[in-house]
């Protein structure tokens, strides 16, 4: 299973997780999201009880009820990333499971640095 977080700064974090249980997802969220953050999610039960583990605010969008936003509350950022990643990955027409995470992380990097000159950015990373 793949899990993704869209953060306030517009960046995405992805991780391969063994399952989408509440314990697994909350462990990833606690490791990547500040407690003072406002969390917006879909209605997946794995996100239940985030407020109980010290997150101040958890807003949900229930796609099963044809909800796609509630005013300024939406999950368009992470959905935009998944659309971007699927469009890139489908070009490979399949890949070895052992390389999937590398391709996914490349999509994450490209998405997080969209609008930048990747060639110059990679040269800088290599120099540093």
With cut-offs at 50, 70 and 90, classify the pLDDT of residue 81: confident
5, pLDDT greater than 80: no
With cut-offs at 50, 70 and 90, classify the pLDDT of residue 37: confident
Q: What is the mean pLDDT of residues 98-112?
A: 93
Range 37-43 contact pairs with CB under 8 angstroms and sequence separation of 24 or more: 37/8, 40/73, 40/74, 40/75, 41/75, 42/75
pLDDT at res. 64? 63
Rounded Cα distance, 50 and 29, in Å: 9
* Domain region containing 56: 2-127
Provide the domain count of the chain. 1
Domain of 17, CATH number, reads 3.30.420
Rounded Cα distance, 107 and 104, in Å: 5
């Amino acid at each position: 299973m793949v899990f993704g977080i869209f953060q306030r700064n517009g960046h995405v974090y992805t991780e391969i997780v063994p399952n989408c249980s509440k314990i697994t997802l909350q462990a990833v969220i606690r490791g990547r999201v500040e407690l003072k953050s406002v969390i917006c999610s879909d209605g997946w039960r794995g996100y239940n009880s985030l407020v109980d583990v010290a997150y101040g605010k958890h807003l949900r969008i229930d796609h099963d009820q044809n909800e796609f936003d509630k005013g300024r509350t939406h999950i368009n950022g992470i959905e935009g990333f998944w659309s971007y990643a699927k469009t890139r990955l489908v070009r490979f027409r399949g890949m070895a499971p052992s390389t999937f995470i590398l391709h996914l992380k490349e999509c994450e990097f490209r998405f997080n640095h969209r609008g930048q000159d990747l060639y110059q950015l990679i040269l800088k990373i290599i120099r540093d």
